[in-house]
Amino acid sequence: MEGFLGGLAVLVDPYVMLMVLLGTVLGIFVGALPGISGSTTIALMLPMTIAMGPVPAICFLGAIYCAANFGGSITAILVNAPGDPSASATALEGFKMAEKGQAGLALGMSAVASAIGGIFSVVVLIVAAPLLAQSAYSFGPPEYFALALFGLSMCAAIGGDSAVKNLIAAALGLLIATVGMDLTTGVERYAFGVMELSDGIGFVPVLIGLFAFGEMLDQAARRYGKPTIAFTDAARVPGWAEMRKCARSIWIGSGIGTFIGALPALGATTAALIGYNETRRWSKHKHEFGHGSIEGVAGPEAANNAAVGGSMVPTLALGIPGSATTAIILAGLIVQGVRPGPHLFNEQPTLLYAVFASMLAANLFYLAMGLYMARFFARISLIPSAFLWPAVFVLCVVGAYGPNQSMGDVYVMLAAGVVGFLFRRAGFSPAPLIMGLVLGGMVEETLKQSLIIFGDDLSGFLGRPIALLLFAVTAAGLLWPVASRLLRFARAARA
Amino acid sequence: MKASAAPSRSSNANRISATLVALVAAAAFGGTFLFDPVPPGLPGLGAVEFPRLICITILGLAVLLFLQEPGQPDPDNVAPDRGALAIWACCALFLPAMALAGMLGASALFMVVAGWLWGERRPILLAGVAAAFTLCLWLVFVRVFRLTLPGGLIFGG
């Protein structure tokens, strides 16, 4: 409690509060822009946060993450174009409600359910993260190695075409992380005599290239027509009857979102889709789904915002990203010289609790803005692509150049952008590559440390029950789809 | 031949992706032989084992991808038209333009040309937006963050 009050005290600093407010406005703004997701924006903003100092920087990025998920619902409801992938489930019922003349109610319910889901998950974060960190104190390199492998294996379910493609992307991320000097042997790897590569490939240019420049190249090939706002209704605060009707959906969404978010690699989009399905399954008004159900807006909105706090639990407590976006935030923390993990709770409690407090504040900010400024934010989707995407490219170049003032980083960004574009075209998701890149150092370091502890004998892992359990869960998760297919074949052959 | 027996476009795409991935992994594996030798006497894994392990994993996964049944092709994956190629060329020319006009000059120029290629046909609006955006860049990066953006031969040098 003392730590949390300390965090609140940090938040009273007008500069930090301004960053949270700016992050919230920017988050809603980009969330409402179809094509630019929260993760793209956080990647683009990362270079600007380097000059801010750790607390305002992480509060700013956290606020963008919280608000972008909500912002996506505005255009999902009014334009049927989810601004953020996590709002795709909201569009299913939200746009139908707008067609029925209930756009204002849908926007109001979206804002309220998002805020409840978001606040619920931050409360879980405040309680669960220190407990998880405390239990992780007994973890040694073997357990961290097993945990990082588990996190990478979860990439299989992150999105994209297939689990195999996701695992390939994650492994490529691990491979990129090996570029540069190996710290235990002093040997340069894949540097080819290029000075800039000796220190390894920086997170910032790769993140900007994969997410922002890659998306820009893809958008150039598509060049959609100008969107039009179908319905511009002012948001309406839901009444008591509507809140009672949606209470179950909101709690189901909040619970599912927090749980899914806390699993490594899975983020808000998965949470929203599962939240939508479960809301429909448990609803007393199933017949309304598909025709503009208000519960179908409340459930996924609570879920995708609850996933934000949930995904910060493993990120901060263990240093294992809970989603693609938190992988970028984790990279931001590392760039700031902060290494997340259990020791952070002892070493920098103020930073952590300031992050928690800022996420609570961001949820309250976007609730207010969502209720009173939704119509204004909906107009954001009218910004012509002809201005937006060239500006994104320029920001990519300046953002990649900025932190180290190095043209080498600009070249890395451009190369990563081309890879990101090819990934999108071939049905690969760039998110697992980022997970691999962020976790690469940890995987190699902990494997090497484990082998030193075990005297180069891999069977040493057998004496570490937590590591064994994590290996078993990883293997089960990876092999289950294959095993279930074999079982189906066997059953079909018998029949 | 039955239609179903012919490999679909998507399955070919999977196979092309798998082959490219396998080539990258093979090249990376080959690259480990160019690393300097590890100083003798160091315990644990050396510098080459971990990258090689990853390369072998990627090769295995590439084989799985090659054999995998294809998913549905993405209907949004339209072939790039001449306009898209021109925008990509603009991006490629940004760095040479920077050498001439500096980062800020190239940014303004890029905003106008790429915006035009994207379909905006109001030159005054394009120029106005490009100028305003470049001014914002200068304010944020040069004035606030005190960054020195690269200059060019004819502007900002």
The predicted complex's ipTM stands at: 0.90
Nearest CA in chain A to B76: A222
Of A168, A394, A407, the CB nearest to B61: A168
Residue B151 has pLDDT above 70, yes or no: yes
How deeply is B89 buried, as exposed, middle or buried, from its count of CB atoms within 10 A (0-12, 13-18, 19+)? Answer: exposed
Asked if residue A489 belongs to a domain, the reply is no
Of A162, A168, A444, the CB nearest to B71: A162
Distance from CA of A105 to the nearest CA of B (A): 32
Asked if residue A495 belongs to a domain, the reply is no
Asked if residue A493 belongs to a domain, the reply is no
Kindly state the tokens that stand for A42. Answer: 């956080």
**Contact in structure between A459 and A194 (CB atoms under 8 Å):** no
- State the pLDDT confidence band at B156, using cuts at 50, 70 and 90: low
> A interface mutation test: which of B48, B61, B113 has the most A CBs within 10 A?
B61
Nearest CA in chain B to A162: B71
3-state secondary structure of A356: helix
The pLDDT of residue A167 is 93
Asked if residue A491 belongs to a domain, the reply is no
Distance from CA of B157 to the nearest CA of A (A): 16
B114:A182 CB<8 A: no
pLDDT (tens digit per residue) in B75-114: 777 788 899 999 999 999 999 999 999 999 999 999 999 9
A171:B148 CB<8 A: no
Chain A contact for B136, CB < 8 A?
A: no
Partner A, chain B 85-124, Cβ-Cβ below 8 Å: 87-88, 91, 94-95, 98, 103, 107, 110-111, 114-116, 118-120
Residue in the block written with tokens 């190996």: A182
The pLDDT of residue A231 is 57
A402:B55 CB<8 A: no
A189 φ, ψ to 5°? -125, 130
B51:A175 CB<8 A: yes
> What does the pLDDT profile of chain A (495 residues) look like in tens digits?
666 777 777 777 889 899 999 999 999 888 877 667 788 888 888 888 887 888 888 889 989 988 988 888 887 887 776 777 778 788 888 888 888 888 888 988 999 999 999 999 999 988 888 888 888 878 889 999 998 898 888 887 665 568 899 899 999 999 999 999 988 888 899 988 888 888 888 888 898 898 889 989 988 987 755 555 555 666 677 888 999 999 999 999 999 999 888 887 677 888 888 889 889 888 888 888 888 899 999 999 999 999 988 888 888 888 888 888 888 888 888 888 887 888 887 788 888 888 888 889 999 999 998 888 877 776 776 778 899 889 989 989 988 888 788 898 999 999 999 999 999 888 888 888 988 998 898 899 999 999 989 988 889 999 999 999 999 999 988 888 778 778 888 888 887
B120:A405 CB<8 A: no
Integer Cα distance of A80 and A72 in angstroms: 10
B118:A389 CB<8 A: yes
Distance from CA of B154 to the nearest CA of A (A): 19
Of A172, A185, A223, the CB nearest to B58: A172
Provide the CB-side half-sphere exposure for A414 (13 A, CA). 17
The pLDDT of residue A96 is 86
Provide the Cα torsion A366, A370, A373, A378; round to 10°: 110
Asked if residue A340 belongs to a domain, the reply is yes
Q: How far apart are the first and last CA of chain B?
A: 66
Nearest CA in chain A to B21: A168
Of A182, A190, A451, the CB nearest to B31: A190
- Helix, strand, coil percent values for chain A (each to nearest 5): 75, 0, 20
- Mean pLDDT in chain B? 86
pLDDT (tens digit per residue) in B30-57: 999 999 888 777 777 788 999 999 999 9
B137:A189 CB<8 A: no
Residue B115 has pLDDT above 80, yes or no: yes
For the four alpha carbons of A50, A51, A55 and A59, in that order, the dihedral sign comes to negative
Number of structural domains found in chain A = 1
> B interface mutation test: which of A45, A161, A218 has the most B CBs within 10 A?
A161
A12 φ, ψ to 5°? -70, -20
Residue B1 has pLDDT above 50, yes or no: no
Integer Cα distance of B108 and B128 in angstroms: 10
Domain that holds residue A136: 2-480
Integer Cα distance of A246 and A268 in angstroms: 20
Nearest CA in chain B to A174: B54
Q: How far apart are the first and last CA of chain A?
A: 61
Integer Cα distance of A315 and A267 in angstroms: 12
